Structure 1
Amino acid sequence: MLQDPALTFPTPASVDAAIKKGFVTLDDEITHDSVQKVLKSKSKVVAAEILAPALSGSCALLSFYDSRSKELRVACTGDSRAVLGRRTGNGKWIATALSLDQTGGTESEDARLRKEHPNEPYVTMNGRILGNLEPSRAFGDAVYKWTKETQDKLKSSYFGRTPSKYLKTPPYVTAEPVVTTTTVDPTKGDFVVMASDGLWEMLTNEEVVGLVGQWLEKQASTSSVGGRSTNSTSGWLQSWFTTQKASTLPIEHHGPDEASGQRAPIRQQQWGVPTGQDQRFVVEDKNAATHLVRNALGGKDSDMLSALLTLPAPYARRYRDDLTVQVIFFGEGEGNGKVELNKEASATANGAANGVGGEVRAKL
């Protein structure tokens, strides 16, 4: 009996392979095809334009959700992170990491690199590739992928940098992602937070999931009183934050932990951030991602928030990293099934609707 081709679906392995191939192919175009174009053109103008992405670097995080199987794939290249939030039967939340921070300090990444580059003691040093770059997987960062001959040629004739003295057998950095698969349960109100390392340098996985839970609770309580704002917080949320450091932390770890590569939020110590929900966190945004960014940068400490947003580049990099945050909800609550713009959470939504500009940005 022949199967209807319209009803066939790709295998999980083929989906994973396609994602990895897409990442690697794109990076090859950025990193290696650009060199061939420069050498062919023999133009410094062309070199300045197309070598810039190769000499720069970027991490990547991709999610792919199959509504049929309820499987969520997360592909990670670098030190961005995805975390699943799921509410349990007793009303508490579980934070499950769906990706591993890929750095020279990650045990599995360090082992991989040392296996691929034997007899190179400085392939990772102080948690960094060749003692310099922290992410072990990334787009671009071509100085860790080009041969010494290529780098010398580009530097002498066009634009480039002096190769590391430890460079022997590149590439040391790859854009190939690690893909994980998790079954999502929309009936439990599952959500996923995808964010660049700037967020995770400021908040733990548990704090992020707890803050989204706090945000959800605020939306529900506001709705339940006819749209009036309320500051009520349920007991389970209070216990979440007040017992963070205790042995009875109401969190189950189902993903990678700090020992296997997920780093602690180093900025909290740098800034001297106080502990405890009452001192730190606030709920005043209609957008869940903006809510996370606000609390990462200062929360109730409006002076800290303003300072970190005011610092200009490149000085700001000493105190905060880039912050890109997405919160994806899989709940099966009431609704019309349509994707709609949250006008209250968008700074220029009204202007865009009236034809004044088309960019929509969240308020902060």
Structure 2
Amino acid sequence: MFWGVFDGHSGWTTSATLRESLISYVARELNDTYKAAKSTAPDPKAIDLAIKTGFNRLDHEIVYRSVEKVFKASSKAVAAELLQPALSGSCALLSFYDSKSKLLRVACTGDSRAVLGRRSVSGKWMATALSEDQTGSNPREVARMRKEHPGEDNVIRHGRVLGGLEPSRAFGDAVYKWSREVAGKLRQSFFGRNPSPLLKTPPYVTAEPIITTTKVEPDKGDFLVLATDGLWEMLTNEEVVGLVGHAWSKIFGSHGKPLPVEHTRDDGPGGQKTPIRLQQWGIDPEAKDRFTVKDKNVATHLVRNALGGTNDEQVCALLTLPAPFSRRYRDDLTVQVIFFGNGEQTGEVTLNLEATAEQDAPKAKL
């Protein structure tokens, strides 16, 4: 089973391409890997390699194969359509769950985040990060890029790749991947902008994901939250897990009581941002009446509490701000919550029908 979120930037076309194609690219590689293993389970490293190959092949199609097609194009209009997914960019967070082995793999390219919620022996929930925010502020990513581009002091500048792009891994974003020669030919023949004067040894950005593997324990109530960075700019890992546990168990009231979650010193993999919007909005993170439970859809419940929770006026204000002005106050928000059942049957996906709108029904509203 696959679940994923795709967070686009500088346009929507790259994320749309990932939505349509990434799972099929990865599934094709996994199919070949499982077939080669025959009766035995594939080596874990082979599975990880298959996922990485699927990511890299799709990005190669987006960034480099598009250029080959463009030079055969008959018009600038055709060229523009072919190049759009390469010129914009997108992060990708894809999870692959084997319901038989109970192994959950999370492949992350960019700064979306996956967090596992699990009930501890105390009855409270524990939050474990299953991915790492890959940005120019992550020391491990900075070290990797400086090693790959020795002598280039500006490879990370002000926490961004060449001073411009925040994610250090992404699909598309071809201006950080094309050579000066290719970019110049495209600009001369069709359109485009001059490469950054800091561009010396591209590519600087890769779509290859970092993969983690976790054994899911359904009997402990395990659930998975996948979300774009817009959610994590507003809520901590523990707050997100506590809010899901709060909504699920409903053992606490909606006002004045702490979330049923254990606070840990270590969030797991490094690189996670702290929620920056609370300071911007002037909200006390220790306020006891921040959160509420109003929604049957848990993802909607998380979005509501990220935007203001009990403060309905703030929620409405943040939702009604028009683009691009809204970007100053909030990022795009995409959230998925997956609960791992503890039934005897495996491989079954069950919708929360009460919280799922029919095709012609109105969408969930905040």
**TM-score tier after normalising by the smaller chain length:** 0.7 to 0.9
Establish whether residue 232 from structure 1 lines up as the match of residue 253 from structure 2. yes
The question of whether the paired residues in 2 share the 8 Å contact of 1:217 and 1:233 is answered with: no
The correspondence for 1:124, drawn from 156, 170, 181, is 156
Seen in structure 2, the aligned counterparts of structure 1 residues 295 and 346 have a Cα distance that, compared at 3 Å, is same
The correspondence for 1:106, drawn from 138, 153, 158, is 138
Establish whether residue 11 from structure 1 lines up as the match of residue 43 from structure 2. yes
The correspondence for 1:33, drawn from 38, 46, 65, is 65
Match of 2:246 in 1: 214
Distance 1:251 1:198 in 2: 22
- What amino acid is the match of 2:232? W
The question of whether the paired residues in 2 share the 8 Å contact of 1:346 and 1:360 is answered with: no
- What amino acid is the match of 1:107? P
Offset, 1:360: 7.8
Establish whether residue 168 from structure 1 lines up as the match of residue 200 from structure 2. yes
Match of 2:29 in 1: none
Offset, 1:156: 2.2
List per-residue Cα deviations over 1:101-146 (Å, max 9, x = no partner). Answer: 0001110100000000001000001110001100000000000000
The question of whether the paired residues in 1 share the 8 Å contact of 2:258 and 2:288 is answered with: no
Distance 2:226 2:173 in 1: 23
SS of the aligned residue for 1:323 comes to coil
- Larger deviation: 270-279 or 119-128? 270-279
The question of whether the paired residues in 2 share the 8 Å contact of 1:346 and 1:363 is answered with: no
Can you give the 5+ residue segments of structure 1 that lack an aligned partner in the other structure?
222-230
Establish whether residue 86 from structure 1 lines up as the match of residue 121 from structure 2. no
Establish whether residue 144 from structure 1 lines up as the match of residue 176 from structure 2. yes
SS of the aligned residue for 1:62 comes to strand
Match of 1:61 in 2: 93
List per-residue Cα deviations over 1:17-59 (Å, max 9, x = no partner). Answer: 1100000000011111111100112420111101111110100
Offset, 1:83: 0.5
Number of equivalent positions: 331
Distance 1:106 1:254 in 2: 14
Establish whether residue 46 from structure 1 lines up as the match of residue 78 from structure 2. yes
The question of whether the paired residues in 2 share the 8 Å contact of 1:73 and 1:181 is answered with: yes
Establish whether residue 325 from structure 1 lines up as the match of residue 317 from structure 2. no
Seen in structure 2, the aligned counterparts of structure 1 residues 317 and 263 have a Cα distance that, compared at 3 Å, is same
Can you give the 5+ residue segments of structure 2 that lack an aligned partner in the other structure?
1-36
Match of 2:4 in 1: none
Match of 1:280 in 2: 290
SS of the aligned residue for 2:295 comes to coil
- What amino acid is the match of 1:251? T
RMSD: 2.5
List per-residue Cα deviations over 1:302-361 (Å, max 9, x = no partner). Answer: 1111111111111111111111100111131699995444343234x2xx3xxxx4x884
SS of the aligned residue for 1:280 comes to coil
Distance 1:180 1:50 in 2: 33
List per-residue Cα deviations over 1:195-223 (Å, max 9, x = no partner). Answer: 011101111111101111111122xx6xx
Establish whether residue 342 from structure 1 lines up as the match of residue 352 from structure 2. yes
- What amino acid is the match of 2:55? F
Match of 1:227 in 2: none
List per-residue Cα deviations over 1:278-307 (Å, max 9, x = no partner). Answer: 321110100111100110111111111111
SS of the aligned residue for 1:171 comes to coil
Mapping of 1:227-266 within 5 angstroms?
A: 232=253, 238-240=257-259, 250-251=263-264, 253=266, 255-256=268-269, 260-266=270-276
Match of 1:228 in 2: none
Distance 1:336 1:250 in 2: 32
Q: Share of identical aligned residues, percent? A: 64
The question of whether the paired residues in 2 share the 8 Å contact of 1:104 and 1:124 is answered with: yes
Establish whether residue 301 from structure 1 lines up as the match of residue 340 from structure 2. no
